[in-house]
Amino acid sequence: MNNRNSALVSFAALAVIAVAPLLPVPARADDVPVAVAANFAGPMKEIAATFAGATGHHAVVSTGATGALAAQVANGAPFEVFLAADATTPARLEKDGLAVPGTRHAYALGRLVLWSAQEGAVDTAGAVLKSGDFAHLALANPKLAPYGAAAVETLEKLGLRTALEPRFVLGENIGQAFQFVGSGNAELGFVALSQVWRDGRFTSGSGWIVPAALHAPLQQDAVLLARGADHAAARALLEFLHGEKAQAIMRSYGYEPAVEAVGAVAR
Amino acid sequence: MGNTAPAITAHLRRTWPGFALDAALDLPGHGITALFGASGSGKTTLLRAIAGLDRRTTGRLAVGGETWQDADRGVFVPAWRRPVGFVFQDADLFGHLDVRGNLAFGARRAGIADPDRRIDEVAARLGLEALLERRPGTLSGGERRRAAIARALLVEPRLLLMDEPLTGLDDRSRHEIMPWLEQLHHETRAPILYVSHALDEVARLADHLVVLEAGTVTASGPLVETLAALDRPPGLGEEAGVVLEAVLGERDATWHLARFDFAGGRLWLPDTGRPSGAAVRARILARDVSLALSPPAASSILNVLPGVVEDVAPDTHPALALVRVRVGPSCLVARVSRRSTAQLDLVAGREVWAQVKAAALVG
Amino acid sequence: MLSHADTQALLLTLRLAAVTTAILLVLATPAAWWLARTRSRWQAPVSALVALPLVLPPTVLGFYLLVAMGPHGPVGALTTRLGLGLLPFTFGGLVVASVVYSLPFVVQPLQNAFAAVGQGQLDAAATLRAAPLDTFLNVVLPLARPGYLTAGVLGFAHTVGEFGVVLMIGGNIPGATRVASVQIYDHVEALEYAQAHGLAACLVVFSFVILLLLYGSRHVRAVRP
């Protein structure tokens, strides 16, 4: 009896949980569905809030891996704007006719940083790489991730790649590389500055911001997708990325705003 | 053998929500003692407690002067160290072993002498020779019980516990096993505790009777006397009656009758084919005995015995009474209406004629 | 057909699955026995705990294992104190993570198998002079054999197919933690489809043969009278 009652209650609770997501969520005309590379999720949240305050339009943000988001776009996902983590993916979308030609441009430059979760472990010149007092060096898989490729390029320029390769631990993406270092399992790692930087300083640990000259620029491109071609709010969002407010937010997150903004956003 | 065999004294307690076993027993160290009672009376609980299968049993138990458990002294001999054999109601043969493997399981562990020879002997005794290589799943119900009995015997127990070994079997299987049990009765030196809710089995096999009701012992003693006792009616209801032990006398081929000579009288009963001279028991139910003050002149009833009223007690229904009649050294119990007891003035010492309408030879 | 790296990843996967399954069968036996037999009020919470690896997405589980086994985590502190060093990025670490990840797949078939062994069989063994361990080894284990087979097959297959957890704590080190699933994933991500297909085909065929042998042996046993 008791058992049956409690089972009923459990089923009722499950039913409510199951049905709740089906309740309608009202959509607004000035919503802009935007696909954002996971590494840019933090700044995008703040930018969206500022964007709403300034224009009344709402950026509805979906984050994910750049490749996964592109696959979703190719299969009919309702995104209007795409902020990728690289330059090649938006170019491919444009080539496949999924993006509006001429709207592709850089919105931010990522910075690579050699970082450790431990205070004082990394000197400001990266000399720790040569001293070699570490067991594991984490980086994103260079085959798959731009930050990983940049890290390998950097090590090659420093002439340390062969010596350090046996100590590599590879994350499938830059997020995982950060977890290896952040959890302390790898003493050192090449991560994105945006992962460890806020308001002009390291949020924790110690790091060496790798000089931009040591690797090809980590350029992140945005593009207007075909679905947003006729949506003024979507174009407004792309333009807003180059405004002062958005750029200040990016800078506080360790991105370098792409100042040489392409004027192609305008029709 | 009666002198050297161990006696069993126990006072065992076990409580469950809504049920309590609180059984005090003092049992002889030989023969078959039937633990009789309705289902739910605690028979199986008591048997399992004696085997040590329920660790939450408290109280005392000593067998043959050896303490198996004593809560006050913190003694509890675990089941696997108690020298018992246990025949479970479902046989519970090991499904992964063939019959020989099942028989050898206990025999090897009990360290009996020359186990392989003993297994063959006991298997022969219980008619299992042809089944030794079979798996339990391929045996009939009766074959499984026989294998279980053999398995329990092969640990050479000092106390054999049997939990309704005939219950749930069809008549053919029961008849197949009963002779083995009787044989066991005569051959096994270890005392046997036999749980049953079927009085015909008890009447046939038991020497002693323990009646359990709602977890307590309501009657205990030698079978014949306990069944004839009215002061502590064993709650047998329709099955109230006595058992008489006797020797078969002459057999009458014309009428297919056999003479049953018991201490104090004789009865003519339907011939079951048992030979003259066989030791047998007859069960006479109280409802099959009526009483008269004079011998009936002409009656269809074959067996009329003179006797003396010894005791009168109320029966389960207020209209009925049980009357114990002494016939020589033996007793009969008759169920009569209370009105008849008044009209016939049936009081202790009155001479009566007991008419036995039916009696069953049970062994 | 396979590159050296692919072969290495394949062999590593099989070694990981075999070691993990062996450890799991040993660890899960007492746990499943307790779960199947106890009337303790802790039975339900412990059952739920054992099933939890089913709930967490593998990468999430992997992340928490990474943290727990890291220098600041409780497991990491323990392994360091025991002189084992830190487990992430090592084969041992993968084994530990796989054991956690595949635990319910091994415990639950065993638990079911143990529960199916009736109390009557245990009681019978006790009255036949078998001590508890003797009963377990000579009655329970043989009767639970099909459960062990299922548990072994599931544990092995689940570990072979493991990806998220390995990804999180492995660090993709050739010969130590780069198992076949990660190697296949890397091939796919790098658009090296031919290598991906070759390796995946080998993994599938090899696993199929192993599972076939195991299930076949059960069938043979089942049809014997």
Tell me whether residue A22 is in a domain: no
With a CB cutoff of 8 Å and minimum separation 6, the contacts of B231 are B311, B313
Residue of B nearest to C120 (CA): B92
The distance from CA C174 to its chain's CA centroid, rounded to whole angstroms, is: 22
- pLDDT value of position C221: 52
Domain match, A139 and A177 both: yes
Residue type for position B95: G
- For chain C, list residues whose CB is within 8 angstroms of any CB belonging to chain B: 118, 120-121, 123-132, 134-135, 138-139, 142-143, 145, 225
Tell me whether residue A23 is in a domain: no
Residue range(s) occupied by CATH 2.40.50.100 in chain B: 241-361
* pLDDT above 60 (res A9): yes
Tell me whether residue A133 is in a domain: yes
Give the residue among A190, A159, A200, A176 at the shortest CA–CA distance from A38: A176
Lookup: tokens for C28: 């899960």
Q: What is the dihedral of CA C149, C155, C156, C160, to 10 degrees?
A: 160
- For chain C, the structural domain boundaries read 4-223
Domain match, A100 and A230 both: yes
Lookup: tokens for C5: 């790296």
Give the residue among C97, C119, C216 at the shortest CA–CA distance from C167: C97
Region for residue C199 given its phi and psi (left: phi exceeds 0; alpha: psi -120 to 50; beta: otherwise)? alpha
Considering chain A, what is the average pLDDT of its residues?
Answer: 86
Give mean pLDDT, residues A18-42. 70
The distance from CA A78 to its chain's CA centroid, rounded to whole angstroms, is: 20
- Minimal Cα–Cα distance from A144 to chain C, Å? 6
Number of domains in chain A: 2
In CATH, the architecture of B8-234 is 3-Layer(aba) Sandwich (3.40)
- Minimal Cα–Cα distance from B208 to chain C, Å? 24
Listed by number, the residues of chain A in 117-136 with a beta carbon closer than 8 Å to a beta carbon of chain C are 136
Give the residue among C158, C23, C203, C6 at the shortest CA–CA distance from C95: C23
Tell me whether residue A145 is in a domain: yes
Whether C44 has its CB under 8 Å from any CB of chain A: the answer is no
Q: Is this prediction's pTM over 0.80?
A: no
Whether A178 has its CB under 8 Å from any CB of chain C: the answer is no
CB contact under 8 A, C70 and A185: yes
Q: Of all helices (H) and strands (E), which one includes residue B123?
A: helix B115-125
B307-310, long-range: CB < 8 A, 24+ apart: B307/B332, B307/B351, B307/B352, B307/B353, B307/B354, B308/B349, B308/B350, B308/B351, B308/B352, B309/B346, B309/B347, B309/B348, B309/B349, B309/B350, B309/B351, B309/B352, B310/B348
Rounded Cα gap, residues A145 and B188, in angstroms? 84
* pLDDT above 80 (res A232): yes
Residue pair A37/A85 in contact (Cβ under 8 Å)? The answer is yes
Residue range(s) occupied by CATH 3.40.50.300 in chain B: 8-234
Lookup: tokens for C81: 């104190």
CB contact under 8 A, C173 and A168: yes
Report the DSSP pairing between strands B208-213 and B32-36.
parallel
- pLDDT value of position B5: 46
- pLDDT value of position C19: 96
CB contact under 8 A, A185 and C167: no
Rounded Cα gap, residues B362 and B201, in angstroms? 8
CA distances from A236 to A57, A69, A228, A243, A257 (A): 9, 21, 11, 11, 17
Return the CATH number at A98.
3.40.190.10
Q: What is the pLDDT of residues C65-120, one digit of tens each?
A: 988 998 889 999 999 999 888 898 899 999 999 999 999 999 999 999 999 998 99
Tell me whether residue A18 is in a domain: no
Domain match, A230 and A105 both: yes
Give the residue among B157, B89, B105 at the shortest CA–CA distance from C139: B105
Q: Of all helices (H) and strands (E), which one includes residue C126?
A: helix C119-127
CA distances from C86 to A138, B96, C94 (A): 15, 45, 12
For C4-223, CATH gives 1.10.3720.10
Provide DSSP, B345-356.
T--TT-EEEEEE
- pLDDT value of position A258: 79
Q: What is the pLDDT of residues A59-105, one digit of tens each?
A: 999 888 888 888 888 888 889 999 999 999 999 999 999 999 999 99
Domain match, A96 and A224 both: yes
Rounded Cα gap, residues B174 and B177, in angstroms? 5
- pLDDT value of position C224: 43
Domain extent, residue A176, equals 112-209
Q: What is the pLDDT of residues C155-197, one digit of tens each?
A: 999 999 888 888 888 888 888 888 999 888 888 777 677 899 9
Instruction: State whether residue A1 is helix, strand or coil.
Output: coil
- Residues of B with CB below 8 A from C224's CB? none
Considering chain C, what is the average pLDDT of its residues?
Answer: 89
Tell me whether residue A20 is in a domain: no
Domain match, A253 and A237 both: yes
**Which residues of chain B are modeled with pLDDT < 70?**
1-6, 230-237, 363
According to DSSP, the residues that pair with B348 across neighbouring strands are: none
User: What CATH topology corresponds to B241-361?
Assistant: OB fold (Dihydrolipoamide Acetyltransferase, E2P) (2.40.50)
- pLDDT value of position A12: 63
CA distances from B77 to A164, B49, B66, B128, B141 (A): 67, 11, 10, 33, 32
pLDDT grade, residue C222 (50/70/90)? Answer: very low
- Residues of A with CB below 8 A from C167's CB? 172, 176
